[in-house]
Amino acid sequence: MSTDRIPLAGAEVAVVGGSIAGCATALAAHRAGAGRITVHERTEGHLADRGVGLAVHNDRYAELSAAGYLDAAMPWVQLTTRRWYVRDGAVPLGRQIAALPFPFRSYCWGPLWRELRGRLPADTVFRQGVTVRAVSDAADGPRLHLDDGAGGRRTDRFDLVIGADGYRSVVRDAAFPGVRPRYAGYLAWRGAVPAERLTELDFPGLGPAPWAQEDCVYGVFPGGHVIIYRIPDGHGGHRANWVLYTSPPAGAGLDLDSPTSLPPGTLTEALHTRLAHVAGELLPPYWGGLVGLTPPHEVFIQPMYDFTAPRYTAGRLLLAGDAATVARPHTGAGAVKALQDAAALEAALRALPERPDALETYGTERGATGRTMVELGRGLGRFLVQDTPDWRTLDQAGVAGAWAAADGSGAFGGRALKEGVRTPHD
């Protein structure tokens, strides 16, 4: 359906998905002058309690701050250096093979979501525990077909629908039915450790804080790696966030062809055993011990998928965040791209009165960015997990050269926003 007759002032806008991408795109619609905005989030829990880490490149932070989607009030930790370690017998930290610049700010998912949620206007309707079963189109606007969580069903009409509902997006299914995430062949085990618990790691010759707050650690081994960095805990302290990438154990019996995740408390014994083996036998002792501090019932798994929609728009259906593109987390740009999508969407919505094709342009341009990030994620996945070099033979120059070859596009941390999108909001 064409968007050239949408009067944005007073328009009824639905956002499907209430996470970071959903809150950011709702904020974009509000700043662009939309009427009533309704956010639909299927989970009923406290989203602000989620403790996963994420990182934002300093340059992307500057752009998103100028656009009004990040600011210094949001809790963060400055990272500067990425140190690469390989196991070297009983040496606690392992042998450092390289140290590369890493100009990123780290965040905790929950506190960042809380800050974005708090910036939404008071009249935003935020519905939790509501499942959007399907999306359909009609001459007078798209419809959401809803389950209210109590057995009731309803259908609501809107002028615009923004799909920010993740990689299993029902909005994307309506816009592009043939686009499906594809399993990449390996998993990411994830967890976090309160910083005060790091003192439990007692290794001879190591002090109580053997790694600097500004360091991001890459512990590499044949067939995978772990990334470890500090994040704010939302209460004035820090947590050590870790993500370990490697293949699942043989005969794990996982059905991963359909997009899924394994939340805390659902991992099988075989998956816990695989993690314990990597932490105990393949990582340097200190970093493996850090991973082991996370209680098993708190560890969760994120299977690696990637895909991108050809465009981010289909008439009055708009896509953003993981609903539009999922690139593997190696890119260091998942949250960045979601916030960039919101900033670009705001600029497009503002331009609609003078440029009826503004949303189509948004869809085409962000679609191109999505393709770049998916290809980058695949290249880094091959280098870091699927076809790893013999790390023991690499030094500073070798790691730097191998990384530069894997990041051929130079898009690690995210592509730059267009100039017209970076201007401060009203």
Residues 6+ apart with CB under 8 A from 86: 94, 95, 97, 219, 220, 221, 284, 391, 392
Pairing mode, strands 143-147 and 131-136: antiparallel
- pLDDT band (50, 70, 90) for residue 9: confident
- pLDDT band (50, 70, 90) for residue 426: low
Cβ neighbours, 10 Å, residue 336? 27
Looking at the domain covering 12-50+111-181+307-407, what would its CATH class be?
alpha beta
Region 77-108+182-304: CATH code:
3.30.9.60
Rg over CA atoms, the chain: 22
Nearest partner of 30 among 134, 117, 93, 110, judged by Cα:
117
E strands within 195-255?
A: 215-221, 224-232, 238-246
- Same fold for the pair 12-50+111-181+307-407 and 77-108+182-304: no
SS3 88: coil
E strands within 291-372?
A: 300-308, 313-314, 317-319, 325-326
Cα–Cα distance for residue pair 80/26, rounded to 1 Å:
32
Q: pLDDT digits over 303-344, tens only?
A: 999 999 999 999 999 999 999 999 999 999 999 999 999 999
Name the pTM for this structure: 0.94
Q: pLDDT digits over 398-422, tens only?
A: 999 999 999 988 999 999 998 777 6
The full set of domain ranges for the chain reads 12-50+111-181+307-407, 77-108+182-304
Q: pLDDT digits over 239-280, tens only?
A: 999 999 999 998 888 889 888 899 999 999 999 999 999 999
- Provide the pLDDT for residue 149: 67
